[in-house]
DNA sequence: TTCAAAATTTACAACGTTGTAGATCGATGG
DNA sequence: CCATCGATCTACAACGTTGTAAATTTTGAA
């Protein structure tokens, strides 16, 4: 069916190894031989069989990206960034979705596709400290994204969750908010994004001398728009007073804004809102949403580089692996309409 | 490093073929042997090497999904649907993004990852009739998604572009719109989604006896929110009068709504808007967006099934391949606030 | 012209798996 | 007790590639 090295060799009148040498740019091939081989390759439309090459080399040129769900725009944008970074380095990306619960994350990590990739980029969601040992067992290079599992021997690329959320909270304080809802907490969580972001919120309040009101710390297990909407409905039902919202991600903020608007609250006049992630859609919502840009492209680039380094480290010497590294990316506060209270805020017509 | 069949065989005291037989559920293995082998597999943490298996079997268990861009929510949701359908059938999905221009689509189609997958799901964007021959040359099973390339010998799974857009237009006519903008046309295109959808629009106007006004057919090369916003700005600048918009996809509609709201136009009171695709976010926008639900999960399921059938057809006999099939999925009009003009429309508070 | 060194090419053996064909073993039936 | 059959297991040869080591050719200097 498809042409192989043997076919090309026969047509070119050389050995298969010479064909292989031409393909791999081995230096000692006579120019005229090379030409003949290339002609044969073109004639037959030969393409190397990747399974065979992988079997021989032990490398597949693929990495997997484990994320909860592509419908979540944050992960779709992350996947895009990762695929761009990977393809610039000659790698393909196999995306694997996990349900977002601990069981399914563990089962994917242990899953059989493991044998098909050189390494794993793993966006941790449901695992915690107690699972660090499991991660260390996986016999593949792996880089953790956007999360901090304590004591794991894996490399991390992490955004500045605390600092980012503190900056967001400080921004709301600066424009005059005093009763600021923290939207998206996970009760009891310390290490994950929710725990860290809550910490940033508390730090900012503390620094400003604003007392913490437990009723303003609002739980949301998952961080989709629908969860932000649901949370806002119960906040309104409970009658809690508030004048600002710092949402732990943009989707929560967008969902909450929708419900507030239905209830007749004006943004930012009655309630200022800021999110986290800088999704594309924060530029198009009504009003546009202020947010923390967490350095996502940088996360993707750095993570792919680190993973590639681990893969190469493993391939070369038996030397002991380098120490696990943790990289924190730079964040940036992006102010848009949802926190712009100056008179004549643009785009508020009709609102 | 990683355990192989040989290692397992040694530990279990059997031949490698017996281990292979156990793994592949070959029936004639004594229960006690099987047990011993399974114990050895567990002890060593053995996992089959997929490269070797693929080399031997000629199958990889992977299909690639070629789409323009994951940041486009339509394709993110499609990818999610495809991955779910594929994983239910034991397949993994390799997503490949193409720039959206003809050159990059062709180069990805011819690209070397071809050898790594059993088949291709290809969401055509920039190719047309003149490229049908190129598609036929690709020596891999392939199913085309959401598009109709005439005369290609490939299977298609297509949404009802014309019917859907005609229904959308009829809906606007039914609620009283008379000057309806068709947003997203590609001048000169006949076969692609834009051409078909424009056709649906024209059919609906024709059937209702509403004259066509060329100024109401608005071009938009790409179909992202930003393009919808840009198009709406020029419409407003041109001073064209209109009372309804049928956008060729949801993103265009959302972008256009944003600009209309900035300009003080009320939706749906001044302008009713309907989109196409039923993105998740149409349920959360302000106002929520009426749209055509094109049967995306059905598209994904059907396409994966058809591709699998082609892969198996190829693997088995040398019999001549089955005739190319074209499947049209069912669509559904989803009415939301953006076309609901009845008094007391919900959710319009503040707007 | 001759010979060593360099350049070029080749044969062969892996990589880890599964299909084929055949070997071994026990039980069955005559 | 032996031929036969099915059940169970095994040896071997692929699949298409690349590394190793060795064979062959060419080159350049003596």
| Sign of the dihedral through C-alpha B112, B113, B117, B121 | negative
Cβ–Cβ pairs < 8 A, chains A and B = 153
Measured from Cα to the C1' atom, the residue closest to C16 is B52
Look at residue A348 and tell me whether its pLDDT is greater than 50: no
Q: What are phi and psi of B109, to 5 degrees?
A: -60, -35
CA-to-C1' distance for B139 and D13, Å?
A: 28
DSSP 8-state code for residue A126: S
Annotation: CATH topology of A161-293+334-339: Rossmann fold (3.40.50)
Return the CATH number of B60-158+296-329, one of 3.30.1490.20, 3.40.50.2300, 3.20.20.140, 3.40.50.620.
3.40.50.2300
Structure tokens at A263: 């209830």
User: Is the bond preceding residue A2 a cis peptide, omega within 30 degrees?
Assistant: no
Q: Rounded CA gap, A301 and A86, in Å?
A: 8
Q: How far is residue A304 CA from its own chain's centroid?
A: 11
Look at residue A105 and tell me whether its pLDDT is greater than 90: no
Mutation target for A interface from B4, B55, B279: give the one with most A CBs within 10 A.
Answer: B55
Q: What is the pLDDT of residue A98?
A: 87
Mutation target for A interface from B284, B316, B337, B349: give the one with most A CBs within 10 A.
Answer: B284
Of the candidates B167, B345, B169, which has an alpha carbon nearest to the alpha carbon of residue B273? B169
At a CB cut-off of 8 Å and minimum separation 6, what does B65 contact? B79, B82, B93, B94, B95, B96, B120, B121, B123
Q: What are phi and psi of A215, to 5 degrees?
A: -65, -20
Q: Is A279 in contact with A126 (CB distance < 8 Å)?
A: no
| Mean pLDDT score, A165-189 | 96
The reported pTM is: 0.89
Task: Provide the residue ranges of all domains of chain B, joining segments of one domain with +.
Answer: 5-48, 60-158+296-329, 161-293+334-339
Mean pLDDT rounded to a whole number for chain B: 89
CA-to-C1' distance for B133 and D15, Å?
A: 31
Q: What are phi and psi of B265, to 5 degrees?
A: -80, 140
Q: Residues for chain B: how many in total? A: 351
Report the DSSP pairing between strands A291-293 and A332-334. antiparallel
Annotation: CATH topology of B5-48: 434 Repressor (Amino-terminal Domain) (1.10.260)
Look at residue B323 and tell me whether its pLDDT is greater than 90: no
**DSSP per-residue letters across B270-332:** T-EEE-SS--GGGGTSSS--BEEE--HHHHHHHHHHHHHHHHHHHHS--PPPPPP-EEE---E
> Over the stretch A233-251, which tens digit does the pLDDT of each residue have?
999 999 999 999 999 999 9
Q: Is A150 in contact with A191 (CB distance < 8 Å)?
A: yes
> Over the stretch B231-271, which tens digit does the pLDDT of each residue have?
999 999 999 999 999 999 999 999 999 899 889 999 999 99
Q: What is the pLDDT of residue B100?
A: 65
Q: What is the pLDDT of residue A126?
A: 67
Query: Which comes out higher in pLDDT, residue A154 or B171?
Result: B171
The Cβ of residue B101 has, within 10 Å, a number of other Cβ atoms equal to 11
Q: Is B45 in contact with B38 (CB distance < 8 Å)?
A: no
CB contact under 8 A, B225 and A280: yes
Q: Which helix (H) or strand (E) holds A151?
A: none
Look at residue A131 and tell me whether its pLDDT is greater than 90: no
End-to-end CA distance of chain B: 65
| Mean pLDDT score, A316-337 | 85
Q: What is the pLDDT of residue B348?
A: 37
Residues 19-38 of A with CB under 7 A from strand D: 20, 23-24
Q: What are phi and psi of B49, to 5 degrees?
A: -80, 115
Report the DSSP pairing between strands B244-247 and B180-185. parallel
Q: What is the pLDDT of residue B148?
A: 66
Q: Rounded CA gap, A37 and A16, in Å?
A: 10
Q: How far is residue A133 CA from its own chain's centroid?
A: 22
Q: How far is residue A153 CA from its own chain's centroid?
A: 20
Q: Beta carbon of A5 within 7 Å of strand D?
A: yes
CA-to-C1' distance for A87 and C12, Å?
A: 36
Q: Rounded CA gap, B236 and A289, in Å?
A: 24
Q: What is the pLDDT of residue B254?
A: 93
Look at residue B212 and tell me whether its pLDDT is greater than 90: yes
CA-to-C1' distance for B295 and C24, Å?
A: 59
Same fold, A5-48 and A60-158+296-329: no
Look at residue A128 and tell me whether its pLDDT is greater than 80: no
Which whole-number Å values give the CA distances from B191 to A95, A264, A268, B134, in the listed order? 32, 46, 46, 17
Of B51, B255, B257, the CB nearest to A51: B51
Look at residue A154 and tell me whether its pLDDT is greater than 70: yes
């Amino acid at each position: 069916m498809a042409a192989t090295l043997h076919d090309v060799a026969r047509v070119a009148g050389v050995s298969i190894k010479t064909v292989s040498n031409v393909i791999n740019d081995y230096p000692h091939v006579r120019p005229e031989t090379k030409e003949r081989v290339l002609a044969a390759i073109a004639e037959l439309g030969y393409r190397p069989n990747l399974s065979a090459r992988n079997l021989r080399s032990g490398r597949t040129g693929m990495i997997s990206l484990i994320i909860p769900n592509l419908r979540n725009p944050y992960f779709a944008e992350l996947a895009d960034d990762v695929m761009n970074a990977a393809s610039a380095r000659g790698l393909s990306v196999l995306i694997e979705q996990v349900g977002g619960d601990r069981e399914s994350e563990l089962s994917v990590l242990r899953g059989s596709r493991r044998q098909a990739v050189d390494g794993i980029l793993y966006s941790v969601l449901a695992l915690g400290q107690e699972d660090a040992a499991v991660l260390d067992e996986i016999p593949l290079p792996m880089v953790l994204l956007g999360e901090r599992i304590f004591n794991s021997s894996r490399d991390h690329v992490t955004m500045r969750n605390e600092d980012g959320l503190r900056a967001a909270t400080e921004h709301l304080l600066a424009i005059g908010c005093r009763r600021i809802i923290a939207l998206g907490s996970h009760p009891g969580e310390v290490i994950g994004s929710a725990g860290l972001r809550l910490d940033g919120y508390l730090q900012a309040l503390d620094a400003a001398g604003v007392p913490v009101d437990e009723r303003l710390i609002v739980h949301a297990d998952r961080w989709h728009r629908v969860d932000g909407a649901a949370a806002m409905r119960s906040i309104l039902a409970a009658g809690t007073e508030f004048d600002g919202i710092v949402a732990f991600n943009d989707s929560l903020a967008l969902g909450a804004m929708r419900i507030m608007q239905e209830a007749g609250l004006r943004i930012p006049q009655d309630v200022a809102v800021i999110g986290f992630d800088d999704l594309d859609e924060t530029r198009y919502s009504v009003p546009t949403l202020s947010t923390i840009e967490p350095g996502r492209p940088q996360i993707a680039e750095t993570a792919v580089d680190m993973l590639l380094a681990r893969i190469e480290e493993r391939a070369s010497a038996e030397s002991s692996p380098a120490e696990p590294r943790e990289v924190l990316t730079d964040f940036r506060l992006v102010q848009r309409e949802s926190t712009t209270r100056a008179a004549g805020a643009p785009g508020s017509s009709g609102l």
